[in-house]
């Protein structure tokens, strides 16, 4: 052991002044960090908008001094700013937003790791950061998952966020009021993973009995069993953050449900089902999505209202249509802001919801 004591962060700003000045000189400011209407050349950083960017620690490089590290209170304010002011930017693509937010949240986690902070304080920061990241990733469409929003990098960062948070929980008995929620989000994000399920089942029984974890375990069981009716019934009841965590699995679950229907119903003459039944069973956003899903898998339509299961016609090529996920995601905010949800200001995530397993 080196005996090195971690410092306490002392930087009062979302981005240290020295970094702002350096990135101004090097023209490395993101447009989100420049004052609106700024005509300076090079552009000047707005201290109220600039956010410390991630810089990978290099071997042999000295640790940053306390003046360059933001304390937990400033880190939490930074996450609040990213969730409240950047994540819903109307003049930027979702890919640009996701790329910027993911990088700045990575810097938040690094600042936290490089200083001395209590586990209770650290958990609150890590929870808010992870919730924000889950939300901006869930909002990306397939066509937006490129460039600054590389899907592999984003997935890695989400998993790193869960790892940091779950290690923080493991170091301390708490209290961590949102632990059940985030342990449940971990399972939902890793739906179908044997390793994730094993880790959750090792948690104390009292924690597993909390509603968010019971719901997550029920969703995971329905997903594994291929019980589409129960799975999508449960998905309708999830909170916004839970829906963000599970959103990446929805397309696969719909495809697998359609494949099972095709195996059960396909005949030489073709059995039919109403598109309305498909919409209800798979929690689709309307008949148009049911048509797109069926046609993408080679299943013909009988007019505009029924899908025909003809033997030998079902096919899987490429990823399933992503859909708009209004029912399963977009409608879940119900008038709240992302900032309110991230900061747990408007949603009691431990309350049992109608339709969820008791």
What is the chain's percent helix, strand, coil content, to nearest 5? 55, 5, 40
Six token digits for residue 237: 């009841």
Name the pLDDT band for 145 (thresholds 50, 70, 90): low
Which run of H or E residues covers position 307?
A: strand 306-309
Q: Which domains does the chain have, with CATH numbers?
A: 1-176 (no CATH), 178-352 (1.25.40.990)
Q: Which two tokens stand for residue 103?
A: 């990088």
Look at residue 294 and tell me whether its pLDDT is greater than 80: yes
pLDDT for residue 327 is more than 90: yes
Does position 350 have pLDDT exceeding 50, yes or no?
no
Average pLDDT over residues 309-335: 90
Report field, pTM of the whole predicted structure over 0.75: yes
Can you tell me the mean pLDDT for 3-18? 90
Please tell me the predicted confidence (pLDDT) of residue 1: 40
Least confidently predicted of 55-64, 121-130, 191-200, 274-283: 55-64
Can you give the pLDDT at residue 90? 86
Of residues 286, 274, 277, 276, the one with CA closest to residue 331: 286
In angstroms, the CA 212 to CA 329 distance is 17
Examine the pLDDT at 297 and tell me if it is beyond 60. Answer: yes
Contact in structure between 321 and 293 (CB atoms under 8 Å):
yes
Q: What is the pLDDT of residue 147?
A: 65
**Mean of the pLDDT values across residues 134-145?**
83
Query: How confident is the prediction for the chain on average, in pLDDT?
Result: 91
């Amino acid at each position: 052991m080196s005996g090195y004591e971690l410092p306490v962060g002392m930087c009062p700003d979302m981005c240290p002044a020295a970094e702002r000045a350096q990135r101004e000189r090097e023209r490395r400011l993101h447009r989100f960090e420049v004052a609106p209407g700024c005509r300076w050349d090079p552009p000047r950083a707005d201290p109220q908008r600039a956010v410390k960017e991630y810089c990978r620690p290099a071997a042999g490089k000295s640790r940053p001094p306390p003046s360059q590290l933001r304390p937990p209170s400033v880190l939490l304010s930074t996450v609040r700013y990213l969730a409240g002011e950047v994540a819903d930017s109307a003049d930027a693509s979702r890919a640009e937003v996701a790329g910027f937010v993911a990088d700045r949240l990575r810097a938040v986690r690094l600042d936290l790791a490089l200083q001395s902070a209590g586990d209770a304080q650290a958990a609150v920061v890590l929870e808010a950061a992870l919730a924000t990241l889950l939300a901006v990733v869930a909002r990306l469409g397939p066509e937006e998952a490129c460039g600054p929003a590389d899907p592999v990098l984003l997935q890695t960062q989400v998993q790193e966020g869960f790892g940091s948070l779950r290690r923080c929980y493991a170091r301390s008995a708490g209290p961590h009021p949102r632990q059940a929620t985030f342990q449940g989000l971990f399972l939902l994000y890793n739906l179908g993973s044997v390793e994730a399920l094993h880790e959750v089942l090792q948690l104390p029984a009292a924690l597993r009995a909390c509603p968010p974890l019971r719901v997550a375990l029920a969703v995971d069981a329905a997903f594994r069993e291929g019980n589409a009716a129960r799975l999508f019934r449960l998905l309708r009841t999830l909170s916004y953050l839970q829906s963000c965590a599970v959103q990446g699995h929805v397309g696969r679950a719909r495809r697998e449900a359609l494949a099972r229907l095709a195996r059960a119903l396909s005949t030489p003459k073709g059995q039919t089902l109403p598109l309305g039944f498909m919409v209800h069973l798979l929690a689709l956003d309307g008949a148009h999505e049911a048509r797109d899903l069926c046609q993408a898998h080679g299943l013909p339509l009988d007019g505009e209202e029924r899908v025909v299961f003809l033997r030998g016609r079902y096919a899987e090529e490429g990823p399933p249509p992503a859909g708009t996920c209004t029912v399963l995601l977009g409608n879940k905010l119900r008038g709240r802001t992302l900032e309110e949800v991230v900061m747990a200001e408007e949603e009691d995530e431990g309350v049992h919801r109608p339709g969820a397993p008791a």
